[in-house]
Amino acid sequence: MPNAFAFNIPFVSIFLAMLTAIITPLIPVKAGIKNINKATLPERVTCCVIALIGVLSALLLFALNADEPISFRFMMGHFPAPWGNELRAGPLEAFLALAFSISMLLSLTGNFDATAYDISERRRPAFCVLVNLLMASLLALLYTNDLFTAYVFIEINTIASCAIVAVKEGGKAVRAALRYLVLSMAGSGLILISICILYDITGHLLMEPMHNAIINIINTGNYINPLTVALYLMTVGLAVKSALYPFASWLHDAHGSATNASSSILSGLVLKGHIFLIIKIFCRIFGIDIIHLLRMDTQLLIFGLLGMIMGSVHAIGQSEAKEMVAWSSVAQVGYIFLGIGLNSNAGIAAACLHVTIHAMIKPMLFTAVGGLSAAAGHKKGLHELMGTFYANRWAGIGFMAGACSMMGIPTFAGFASKLSLTMAAFESRAIIWALAALAASSVLNA
């Protein structure tokens, strides 16, 4: 058991983000201090809190690795297991929380200029509220052990992420946000129906009792059809939100027309929160044997492969730099679903590695594209960015590094995750298709 301090970290970090979301609108934008780097006071407070959450997550990670039981449950409101609400923290959750807070911090600090250009000073506190709400809901999606709590935070996440698209002025962003909202609402409706069916056939909302009840259902053979329907609805709902290919038509629009900090956060983190929830539901509620029994793994594999190819094909066809980077997200989400679809320990580990690496690289790419387009006088077209490398060298280097990593060139981070995905594919029966698609997608990315 970790010490009392580490034990409280999951709750405290969610609570801190929520609290900051409430107090940021109260902080005056024009304080006596001079605005450094065009960042207003609420933005600096937000950055400090996110850095603090990152430090806390790092402490939690160390505490969990030091002690023997490497995961623990935190009761919310002191009601014991089958009734109360719980948080659960393990090394993976702590590590992802650390990675998410670093990525969030860098996407905010790297884009202060673009944020100041796109969002008026009057609206900046509202922007900070949304960032903090997103942080809180992402942390809650990581740590929660209760399916209905997950649903509530999915909805908070939906509202905050649509609002963070619409916060940029102009009709294009509003239209993209509405389109995003409609598909997200359909997705969360499916998730809600699925949670209701699961609750009705298992009688639980916490993950461990639900897992035992589902094993019981499979053994006795009663209610297998509702269970299958619930699994498919849940997967489709979460796949819409995490932009698996056939459901990804909203992504390029929303991520391409938002301000740079929003695009970075949405593409790097919000998709990953939902993907991690899918991994959690597959591993902790159903278990990978039952997923295989209900044939969910093969379908995710097929859609993952489709996403890898089609995302890259669409990315090549784009004429705007940001939309191209956004379509490349669809391809990367395809890689992650390929890992989940392999349905082995190695595959899911590779998927988690790719989640982390993509959560780092995609914000970097968006930030670099933002830097380049600012150097070109806020133009967006690919051909208009020609020659801007000399105007903003750091953004150019960042873009090159990010692009190399996306292609999976050795010594860049993307290589590590692609290698582990390939190694996981070697253990599976679908190896030929997986390898062919990996190769094709790598070539297309290049």
Partner 1 sequence: MLNRLLLNHYEAAAVILSCIGLTNLLLQRNMIKKIIGLNIMDTAVYLFLAAKGYISGRTAPIYYLDANGEWVNQVQAYVNPVPAGLVLTGIVVSVSVTAFALALTLRLYEHYGTLNIDEALFLLEHKYELEYSSYNDDDELLYEFGVDNRDMIKAANEAASKSMNDKGGDEDHA
Name the amino acid, one letter, at 101: S
Minimum gap (Å) between residue 242 Cβ and partner 1: 18
Which contacts of 76-79 are long-range, i.e. CB under 8 A and separated by 24 or more positions? Answer: 76/11
Helix (H, G, I), strand (E, B) or coil at 71: coil
Q: Is 203 exposed, middle or buried (0-12, 13-18, 19+ CB in 10 A)?
A: exposed
Quote the radius of gyration of the chain (alpha carbons, Å): 21
Angle, helix 321-342 to helix 271-280, in steps of 10 degrees = 10
Residues between 358 and 387 with contacts to partner 1, criterion CB under 8 A: none
CA-based torsion, 300, 340, 150, 159: positive or negative: negative
Residues between 266 and 325 with contacts to partner 1, criterion CB under 8 A: none
From candidates 59, 126, 193, 294, binder to partner 1 by CB under 8 A: 193
Q: Is 170 in the site for partner 1 (CB under 8 A)?
A: yes
# binding residues, partner 1 (CB under 8 A): 30
Q: Is 196 in the site for partner 1 (CB under 8 A)?
A: yes
* Among the residue ranges 166-174, 280-288, 401-409, 435-443, the one whose residues contact partner 1 (CB under 8 A): 166-174
* Among the residue ranges 4-12, 106-114, 186-194, 362-370, the one whose residues contact partner 1 (CB under 8 A): 186-194
Q: Is 12 in the site for partner 1 (CB under 8 A)?
A: no
Bridge partner residues of 87 (DSSP): 74, 144
CA-based torsion, 305, 310, 316, 320: positive or negative: negative
* Among the residue ranges 154-162, 216-224, 294-302, 399-407, the one whose residues contact partner 1 (CB under 8 A): 154-162
Q: Is 221 in the site for partner 1 (CB under 8 A)?
A: no
What is the rounded distance in angstroms from the CA atom of residue 242 to the CA atom of residue 221?
32
For 130-144, the DSSP string reads HHHHHHHHHHHHHHB
* Among the residue ranges 180-188, 335-343, 345-353, 373-381, the one whose residues contact partner 1 (CB under 8 A): 180-188
Q: Is 25 in the site for partner 1 (CB under 8 A)?
A: no
Q: Is 199 in the site for partner 1 (CB under 8 A)?
A: yes
Residues in the chain: 446
From candidates 38, 73, 123, 172, binder to partner 1 by CB under 8 A: 172
Minimum gap (Å) between residue 352 Cβ and partner 1: 29
Pick the closest to residue 374 from 102, 112, 166 (CA basis). 112
From candidates 121, 200, 289, 427, binder to partner 1 by CB under 8 A: 200
From candidates 39, 181, 271, 305, binder to partner 1 by CB under 8 A: 181
Q: Is 163 in the site for partner 1 (CB under 8 A)?
A: yes
Minimum gap (Å) between residue 82 Cβ and partner 1: 11
CA-based torsion, 269, 271, 277, 278: positive or negative: negative
Q: Which two tokens stand for residue 232?
A: 């498919």
Q: Measured from the CB atom, is 194 or 312 closer to partner 1?
A: 194
Minimum gap (Å) between residue 432 Cβ and partner 1: 36
Helix (H, G, I), strand (E, B) or coil at 206: strand
Q: Is 174 in the site for partner 1 (CB under 8 A)?
A: yes
Q: Is 240 in the site for partner 1 (CB under 8 A)?
A: no
DSSP state of 170: S
Query: Strand 85-89 vs strand 72-76: parallel, antiparallel, or unpaired?
Result: antiparallel
Q: Is 232 in the site for partner 1 (CB under 8 A)?
A: no
Q: Which two tokens stand for residue 119?
A: 């969002």
In this structure, how many other beta carbons lie within 10 angstroms of the beta carbon of residue 439? Answer: 11
Minimum gap (Å) between residue 235 Cβ and partner 1: 16
Pick the closest to residue 219 from 279, 155, 290 (CA basis). 290
Please compute, for residue 326, the number of CA atoms within 13 A of its CA located in the half-sphere on the CB side.
Answer: 25
* Among the residue ranges 34-42, 162-170, 283-291, 397-405, the one whose residues contact partner 1 (CB under 8 A): 162-170
From candidates 152, 436, 443, 446, binder to partner 1 by CB under 8 A: 152
Per CB under 8 A, residues contacting partner 1 are: 148, 151-152, 155, 158-159, 162-163, 166, 170-172, 174-175, 177-179, 181-182, 185-186, 188-190, 192-193, 196, 199-200, 205
